[in-house]
Structure 1
Amino acid sequence: MKAGIVGTGNMGGILLEAFIESGALSPSDLNVINRTKEKAEHFRKKHAGLTVYDDLASLIKDSDVVFICVKPLDIYELLEHSQSYFTKEKCIVSITSPVSVQQVESLAGCSCMRVIPSITNRALSGVSLFSFGSRCTKEWQDAIWKLMGSISTPVTIGEDITRVSSDIVSCGPAFFTYLTRKFIEGATSETEIDERTATILASEMLIGLGELLKKEIYSLEALQEKVCVKGGITGEGISAMEAEIGELFHGLFRATHKKFDEDLRETRHQFGL
């Protein structure tokens, strides 16, 4: 299978590197194009055999599946100018949440799906979120599910939970990285520990926490109960968090959904649906 990647920015680059590292695709299986060609050339220098294209039409013709990894408002123009090259046997995978599979299908006669990845996929872990188009063949569903399964745990979602699922899976690493940095900042400002030591300890704690959850040794609730002894130090810390956290995460999801609604209005205006 020849896979084209349109856009080698953050997520496009992560998919490319993860596919190669997992062994799911070899560099010779990958065709890439980027608005700034130097960014694509960086990957060619790193991975011998990878092909960098100057024009999108040629990449599409030479690829079986095309991953569209560009900004939401750039997708309409890309599809409109290239729709004749997306012949019936090909497959489009869009990775952005504000553009629905139905919108992509309206400009392409091939199999279409949306797969929202996560930065955690770079470590061959985490989740990828799938939504299939009405004309997407079973063969392409199985093929891309298997491909993404080599770098993530694929999960099918409905359109109604696209944003919140993406918040948890795709934005979640940034949210919890921010909280961890604040955790470290609090430790260094309130105690004698230095930032480097606190960062190492916090990072290793998170890795260990992830392993406990991955191996299903404890659930989230059971894990908190195991650590939080009644009347102990952890309990005091939890009480302090409860007093301060308030509506933090409620506000977070309200903010992301507000921005998502703005993006939806713009993409619906472009696609006319």
Structure 2
Amino acid sequence: MKIGLIGTGSMGSLLLDAFIYFGAIQPQQLYISNRSKEKLLLLSERHEGLNISQNNIETVTHCDILFVCVKPLQFTTIIEEIKDHVRSDQLLVSITSPVQLHHLENNLSCKIAKIIPSVTHKVGSGASLVMYGSRIQEKEKQLLHDLLSFISKPIEIKETQARINSDFTSCGPAFMSFFLIKWIEAAVEMTGISREEITCLASEMMLGTGTLLTQGGLTPLQLQELVAVPGGITAQALSQLNQSLDGVFHNLITTTHNKYVEDVEKLNELLGDIN
């Protein structure tokens, strides 16, 4: 099996590194192309045997599965470039959330899927969200599922729920890190504790909490109740948090959804003009 990657930015490179590191594929199976040749050379130095394509068409012609890892508004250029070179038996996988399955199926003759990856795949963890186009058969579903299973827990979702799901799986690590940073800054300022020490403790706490929720059989509410004894310090602090954060998460979801709708509308205009 040959796999192609168009776009080796932060997420494209992360997927490539993870696939190789966790044994999903060998460098010799990969063909990559990118606007910046410097990024391609750096990746080839990191992974001996990696195939660097001269252009996107060369990547397409060599691969069975093609991951397109570019920004939303770059898809018009990519589609125009490769549309006459894709094959009906190929599987093209977009990792770009606002690009809809119908955008791709209306303009390309190959089989289409979409995934929303996460930075957590860097350590072989987290969920990858998977959506399939109308031409996909069970064998392609299984092929993509098996590939993603090396680096994540693949979960099939409805495309209509992609935004809210990716708020948690893809954006979530940044949101949780933001919370930790603010908490750590307050701890350092108010108590004088070493930033390195408290960051280490906070990181270990996050790891343990995630393990309890994924492997320990606890729900978030059960975990909260296990720690927050009525009348205790944790319970009192949680009461304060509940008041302080009132409405925050509704605003967060509104913000991410509004941006998503804006991007989809732009793509509807742009990709609708491609025949």
User: TM class by shorter-chain length?
Assistant: over 0.9
Instruction: Provide, for residues 21-65 of structure 1, a one-character-per-residue CA deviation record: whole Å limited to 9, x for no partner.
Output: 110101111111111110111110011010111211111101111
Partner of 1:80: 80
Give the secondary structure class of the aligned counterpart of 1:85: coil
Partner of 2:271: 271
For 2:152, the aligned partner's letter is: S
In structure 2, C-alpha distance between the alignment counterparts of 1:25 and 1:174, rounded to whole Å = 28
Give the secondary structure class of the aligned counterpart of 1:121: helix
TM-score, with structure 1 as normaliser: 0.97
Partner of 1:136: 136
Query: Once the two structures are aligned, what percentage of the paired residues are identical?
Result: 38
Instruction: Provide, for residues 207-231 of structure 1, a one-character-per-residue CA deviation record: whole Å limited to 9, x for no partner.
Output: 1111111213422111111110111
Partner of 1:24: 24
In structure 1, C-alpha distance between the alignment counterparts of 2:217 and 2:261, rounded to whole Å = 39
Partner of 1:205: 205
Deviation at 1:138, TM superposition (A): 2.3
Instruction: Provide, for residues 86-140 of structure 1, a one-character-per-residue CA deviation record: whole Å limited to 9, x for no partner.
Output: 1111110000110111111111111110011111111111111111110123222
In structure 1, C-alpha distance between the alignment counterparts of 2:123 and 2:74, rounded to whole Å = 28
Structure 2, unaligned stretches of length 5 or more? Answer: none
Instruction: Provide, for residues 155-197 of structure 1, a one-character-per-residue CA deviation record: whole Å limited to 9, x for no partner.
Output: 1111221111111111111111111111111111221312111
For 1:261, the aligned partner's letter is: V
Give the secondary structure class of the aligned counterpart of 1:24: coil
In structure 1, C-alpha distance between the alignment counterparts of 2:67 and 2:9, rounded to whole Å = 12
The 8 Å contact of residues 2 and 29 in structure 1, kept in 2 or not, is answered as yes
The 8 Å contact of residues 57 and 81 in structure 2, kept in 1 or not, is answered as no
In structure 1, C-alpha distance between the alignment counterparts of 2:218 and 2:134, rounded to whole Å = 39
RMSD: 1.1
| Structure 1 position 237 matched with structure 2 position 237 | yes
Structure 1, unaligned stretches of length 5 or more? Answer: none
In structure 2, C-alpha distance between the alignment counterparts of 1:71 and 1:12, rounded to whole Å = 11
In structure 2, C-alpha distance between the alignment counterparts of 1:242 and 1:76, rounded to whole Å = 45
Partner of 2:63: 63
| Structure 1 position 253 matched with structure 2 position 253 | yes
The 8 Å contact of residues 34 and 55 in structure 2, kept in 1 or not, is answered as no
For 1:27, the aligned partner's letter is: P
- Counterparts in 2 of 1:48-197, with a 5 A limit? 48-197=48-197
Partner of 1:12: 12
In structure 2, C-alpha distance between the alignment counterparts of 1:159 and 1:142, rounded to whole Å = 19
| Structure 1 position 34 matched with structure 2 position 51 | no
How many residues are aligned here?
273
TM-score, with structure 2 as normaliser: 0.97
In structure 1, C-alpha distance between the alignment counterparts of 2:76 and 2:140, rounded to whole Å = 22
Give the secondary structure class of the aligned counterpart of 1:32: strand
The 8 Å contact of residues 98 and 260 in structure 1, kept in 2 or not, is answered as yes
In structure 1, C-alpha distance between the alignment counterparts of 2:229 and 2:191, rounded to whole Å = 23
Regions of 4+ moved over 4 Å? none
